[in-house]
Structure 1
């Protein structure tokens, strides 16, 4: 009888241990599931406004890289060529940073330019004269004014901390780009006006 009771006690102990292990595994599984849920929630917490900023920043960067690649090949003025090289270098770096950030947050970025923007880029590819230099710099001034405004707004309105940090980090670079574009654009226009005046005087 004592031996029988001993077997019963041993079986009960093994059952308790087994249940304990099962409960522990269930608890760990629940923690893992909760962890996955938290990670997913973190991704989904990027609001539409933040996502819109990332999308517009990527589209603008793509356009500026394509136009600046043309400037390196088609511009007549060496300063314009140099500006184009700076744009390609800086915006490629920024675009890569934004793509990595977007991938980590499951954000959608444009893969191509919108048709009207691509048409403008294509029309610029057909030019290779002083007219290209003037138009390119005019476009760079306009594009960077818009960029600076968007990034300044993002530094105060974007909720996602990583996207906000991206905006804060790159805003000074965009301001520098705008400043250089404005100076070079003014210089080119002044030179163009002088040439036009000279030609007009020669025709009299």
Structure 2
């Protein structure tokens, strides 16, 4: 009888030790899962306003690159062709910088234009050469006024420091684009008016 009780005591001890180990392993696993969750949260702490800026900036650059490519092919005025080339170069560079920031934060960027912007690109692709230059420069002035306003707001309103630094760095380039677009647009309008008066 004593021998039987001794066996029961050993079995109970083994069960208690194994349960203790199981609980300990569970606690360790829960701690690791919590640590992983914290890491993920740190990477994706982007608020709605910042995310809106990212999407708007990505879409704007995409449209200006596509329209710049059209200008290089379809414009009659050499200065308009050169402006289009500058749009492709500068906005491609800005897109790459924004993409690198977004990738580091596990953010997805839009891969296509929204309907309004796509309609604008499609409309410009069907413009005759004679009407292309004027229409393109009108769009560039309006688009860059919008860009400058959005980026000026972003330099103070964004919460994410990397996105804010991107806005601060890109803003002077956009202001330069706007100034060049306004000058070229005014020159083309003046030339177009003079030509119409001759008729």
Match for residue 22 of structure 2?
Answer: none
Q: Is the 8 A contact 1:75 1:128 kept in 2?
A: no
Match for residue 189 of structure 2?
Answer: 189
Match for residue 172 of structure 2?
Answer: 172
CA distance in 1, matches of 2:70, 2:143: 16
Runs of 4+ in 1 over 2 A off after TM superposition: 28-39
Q: Compute the TM-score of the two structures, normalised by the length of structure 1.
A: 0.79
SS in 2 for 1:111: coil
CA distance in 2, matches of 1:29, 1:171: 47
Q: Is the 8 A contact 1:68 1:84 kept in 2?
A: yes
CA distance in 2, matches of 1:130, 1:35: 62
Q: Which blocks of at least 5 consecutive residues in structure 2 are unaligned?
A: 1-25
Q: Is the 8 A contact 1:76 1:128 kept in 2?
A: no
CA distance in 1, matches of 2:66, 2:53: 20
Q: Which has the larger displacement, 97-106 or 140-149?
A: 97-106
Match for residue 116 of structure 1?
Answer: 116
Tell me the alpha carbon deviations over residues 67-112 of structure 1, each in whole angstroms, 9 at most, x when there is no partner. Answer: 0100000000000000000000000010011111111112222111
1:141-160 aligned at under 5 Å gives the runs 141-160=141-160
Aligned-pair CA distance for 1:37? 3.9
Q: Compute the TM-score of the two structures, normalised by the length of structure 2.
A: 0.81
Aligned-pair CA distance for 1:34? 6.2
CA distance in 1, matches of 2:48, 2:172: 25
Match for residue 129 of structure 2?
Answer: 129
